[in-house]
Structure 1
Amino acid sequence: MKVYSKKTAAAIALVAGAALALSGCSTSNGSGSEETTKPAGDTGALKIGTLLPQTGTLAHLIYGPQAAVKLALSEINEAGGVLGKDVELVVEGNEHDASDPTIINKSVDDIIKANPSFVLGAMGTGNSNAAMPRLTEAGILMGSPSNTGIGMSGINDLYFRTIASDIIQGRALGNLVLQDGNTTVAMLAQNNDYGIGLRDNFQETLEGAGAELVYGAKGSGEEFPEGQTTFTSEVTAALSKKPDAIAIVSYEEAKQIIPELAAQGFDLSKLYLVDGNTVPYPEFDAGLLENAQGTTPGRASEGTFLEDLVAADSSATKSTNFAPESYDAVMLVALAAQKAGSTDPSAIRDNLAAVSGADGGDTCSTFKDCLALLEDGKDIHYEGQAGGGPLTDKNEPSSALIGIYRYDDTNTPNPVGEIEG
């Protein structure tokens, strides 16, 4: 069990590396977990868990969400907690490990045993779908900061997300490529819901403006499987089409694709990345990715928020992708529980849209300020870090920001603008 206060943020930062190594190490109770739900009107401490990628192809994206959870809990508890009690992080599950395909089931066992009201995760759309049936049966609310799969819209009453679907990012990426004057484009996309959904909307946007997706188009069968490690043939085939630009929809596979593109002579300033791979690449030669661009849903982590993330967990210096969305998810759950007067997952779910501003209300951006308004009996509109609009009846943001990033000579992406969709 972990309870964070802002007073301990500096100490947490000092042990961040050890915390990452140990996270999710609770003992599995096997497949015979007793699946229980919280009674309606429960006013006990709000208990939450996480289901994040501690290993596998998504592991490079854990740093932002991990820091955001610690920061959100410290701020909530410093302000007095939920219903007068500290919020507790009671379980940290691992959503994926290529060397152990049973890891997500073991993590779900651990989560059900801990019986939190809410679990942040999973990050991968497929991993959320895998965990959802049993967590829903156990009455546990799920909230993802990163599931952009189109099919996740309204999929389950006990599921919500704080990120826009691939419809919006696909269109934003397409418009970015078009405004740079590219008319023929190749896409290296992985063969899963994430890759296919984003590719389809990207292609639709290109073709609507008279441009063409010359490699990786819908129906071509040119997608690659998640976890692939060599891309010589795919890059050769894509470059044979002589594209003006190339986009990559992947997770850590980009670490192999990018050097192969460079080795075959592609101008990487004409490369476009997405949220799954728009991260720093310090392992590459200096300047390799200079002027390449990427898109990521949500507002960039900057200023005081970025400083607070790093203070909560120093590993946030590696990446803050999905930190705003993770922070907002925890805040919305805490505020919804406070408004409901209950830590029952169904009661929290029934109040999520209201505290996100779906019913109007006074705008507030910190837990302390929102709590004061709720205690005065007022409706609130929590204005989060990610810049998303109030939640819809499909349990997702009604509007969203897509950040645009450009790489510098240290192969680090820097925010240069944003598009609202």
Structure 2
Amino acid sequence: MRFHARKTTAALALLTVAALGLAGCATDDGDAGSTGDSARDTGPLKIGTLLPQSGTLAHLIYGPQAAVKLAMAEINEAGGVLGQDVELVVEGNEFDPSDPTIINKSIDDIIAASPSFVLGAMGTGNTNAAMPRLSEAGILMGSPSNTGVQLSGINDYYFRTIASDIIQGKALANLVLQDGHTRVAMLAQNNDYGIGLRDNFQETLEAAGAELVYGAKGASEEFQETQTAFAPEVTGVLALDPEALAIVSYEEAMQIIPELAAQNFDLTKLYLVDGNTIPYPEFDDGLLEGAQGTTPGRATEGDFLDALVAADSNATRSTNFAPEAYDAVLLVALAAERGGGTDTETILENLRSVSGADGGATCGTYAACLELLQDGQDIHYEGQAGGGPLTAENEPESALIGIYRFDETNTPIAVGEIEG
């Protein structure tokens, strides 16, 4: 099954490149080395991270952390970038509910360390909070997990390696429809992530003649982030006797699911999304067996999974967004190598090209791509996440949405993919 995401105009009013005095930055893919020699940095490629070390997204950090370690190891083993090892110079924390100033402190640390590239943030709202200052400092952000629709093409100093909620929302709705459900409820959190995914989910349901009976746009039935008790919401949902229920949340699902079970909802009719399609070892065996979830990107399995776990044993806890994080680091390194410079401007000028936007020879590892670049060839890096080349909006032109079904140990197992 295929769908085509429609182009979305960025809606946020952030500082423009001109206002930041950065109008000289080229954002398209010119010839390699088009940045002036006097401005090009040929020192080691310095990168950083802005990932959730605490808070409601902390359960999603394991995959990206392992992916950064693996990507750096493979890059350096292949000879590095411009013959030098990539350096991880700063690791910021994007969010902590007990300390709302943590992200600003992390941004201060990142700017002081002066990397060319930062992987993160994972939360769309956290990216919005960090972007103005990092862009003003000339630091490129690349997110493995931001799915907010409004981030499409928002800033020349931002890209993502994951599809927007337009694609996942439609994929989730089509999965529900294929299972024969026409009266559906949704518990969605009240933020850009929850609302954006809900809107596209609802649009697809209604276009097929189905109904979103709870959580619909305009009904004011979204829940707040970090909410911990859901008895009233679950009671309200079940009073409408829906045939299926979808939850758009982060760790709040850990409280919602037991409440659903306590109120006798059939959890085989439950659908989850990327923020909560994770193992639930805390639950009784079999509680979630038969429930389903969707996650953008190809399933993490086989040799890549083994390599992630070898790089960081915490990857056994979750590999969500690991392929996208790995791809982001490799794209940045390949762009620097193609352009002959490790500065942000050179990376920006070459980023889309190495993703395949200009065609070129296909390659799937850093070593293979590096050999082609050193032979003077254009390349198309075919990443672990299965996304297409980056568009002018600096996001994948196509993407895979993985479909998962929970087994008797409450672990999501990949059962298929939808290409969008």
Q: What is the TM-score when the length of structure 1 is the normalising length?
A: 0.91
**Residue 372 (structure 2) aligns with:** 373
**Residue 292 (structure 1) aligns with:** 291
Query: Which letter maps to 1:345?
Result: T
Say if 2:133 is the partner of 1:134.
Answer: yes
**Residue 66 (structure 2) aligns with:** 67
* 1:140 Cα deviation after fit: 0.3
**Residue 57 (structure 1) aligns with:** 56
**Residue 224 (structure 2) aligns with:** 225
**Residue 240 (structure 1) aligns with:** 239
Q: Deviations over 1:229-266 (max 9, x none)?
A: 00000000011110000000000000000000000000
- Cα distance in 1 for partners of 2:391, 2:124 equals 19
**Residue 302 (structure 1) aligns with:** 301
**Residue 197 (structure 1) aligns with:** 196
- Cα distance in 2 for partners of 1:196, 1:121 equals 21
Q: Deviations over 1:199-251 (max 9, x none)?
A: 00000010000000000000000000110000000000011110000000000
Q: Percent identity?
A: 79
**Residue 17 (structure 2) aligns with:** none
- Cα distance in 2 for partners of 1:410, 1:397 equals 33
- Is the 1:147–1:163 contact (alpha carbons within 8 Å) kept by the matching residues of 2? yes
**Residue 28 (structure 1) aligns with:** none
Moved over 4 A (4+): 36-39
Q: What is the TM-score when the length of structure 2 is the normalising length?
A: 0.91
SS of equivalent residue, structure 1 residue 188: strand
Query: Which letter maps to 1:374?
Result: L
Q: Equivalent residues in 2 for 1:4-403 (5 A)?
A: 40-403=39-402
- Cα distance in 1 for partners of 2:322, 2:348 equals 21
* 1:346 Cα deviation after fit: 1.5
* 1:401 Cα deviation after fit: 0.1
- Cα distance in 2 for partners of 1:325, 1:350 equals 21
Higher relative contact order (CA 8 A, sep 6+): 2
- Is the 1:294–1:405 contact (alpha carbons within 8 Å) kept by the matching residues of 2? yes
SS of equivalent residue, structure 2 residue 416: strand
- Cα distance in 2 for partners of 1:51, 1:154 equals 20
- Cα distance in 2 for partners of 1:134, 1:382 equals 30
SS of equivalent residue, structure 1 residue 416: strand
- Cα distance in 2 for partners of 1:341, 1:347 equals 8
- Cα distance in 2 for partners of 1:402, 1:420 equals 6
Query: Which letter maps to 1:234?
Result: E
- Cα distance in 1 for partners of 2:131, 2:283 equals 37
Query: Which letter maps to 2:384?
Result: Q
RMSD between aligned alpha carbons?
A: 1.2
- Cα distance in 1 for partners of 2:176, 2:245 equals 9
SS of equivalent residue, structure 2 residue 67: helix
Query: Which letter maps to 1:256?
Result: Q
Q: Deviations over 1:374-419 (max 9, x none)?
A: 0000000000000000000000000000000000000000000000
- Cα distance in 2 for partners of 1:349, 1:145 equals 17
- Cα distance in 1 for partners of 2:53, 2:66 equals 13
- Cα distance in 1 for partners of 2:211, 2:125 equals 29
* 1:299 Cα deviation after fit: 0.3
SS of equivalent residue, structure 2 residue 303: helix
SS of equivalent residue, structure 2 residue 194: helix
- Is the 1:61–1:319 contact (alpha carbons within 8 Å) kept by the matching residues of 2? yes
* 1:40 Cα deviation after fit: 2.3
* 1:176 Cα deviation after fit: 0.1
- Cα distance in 1 for partners of 2:217, 2:415 equals 30
SS of equivalent residue, structure 1 residue 417: strand
Query: Which letter maps to 2:222?
Result: E
Query: Which letter maps to 2:169?
Result: G
- Cα distance in 1 for partners of 2:240, 2:327 equals 43
Q: Deviations over 1:20-54 (max 9, x none)?
A: xxxxxxxxxxxxxxxx9997211010000000000
* 1:367 Cα deviation after fit: 0.3
- Is the 1:166–1:197 contact (alpha carbons within 8 Å) kept by the matching residues of 2? yes
- Cα distance in 2 for partners of 1:338, 1:129 equals 29
- Cα distance in 2 for partners of 1:365, 1:65 equals 19
- Is the 1:158–1:346 contact (alpha carbons within 8 Å) kept by the matching residues of 2? no
Query: Which letter maps to 2:300?
Result: S
- Cα distance in 1 for partners of 2:369, 2:267 equals 45
Unmatched tracts of structure 2, length 5 or more: 1-21, 26-34
SS of equivalent residue, structure 2 residue 74: helix
- Cα distance in 2 for partners of 1:264, 1:172 equals 28
* 1:347 Cα deviation after fit: 1.2
- Cα distance in 1 for partners of 2:87, 2:80 equals 10
* 1:349 Cα deviation after fit: 1.0
- Cα distance in 2 for partners of 1:323, 1:40 equals 33
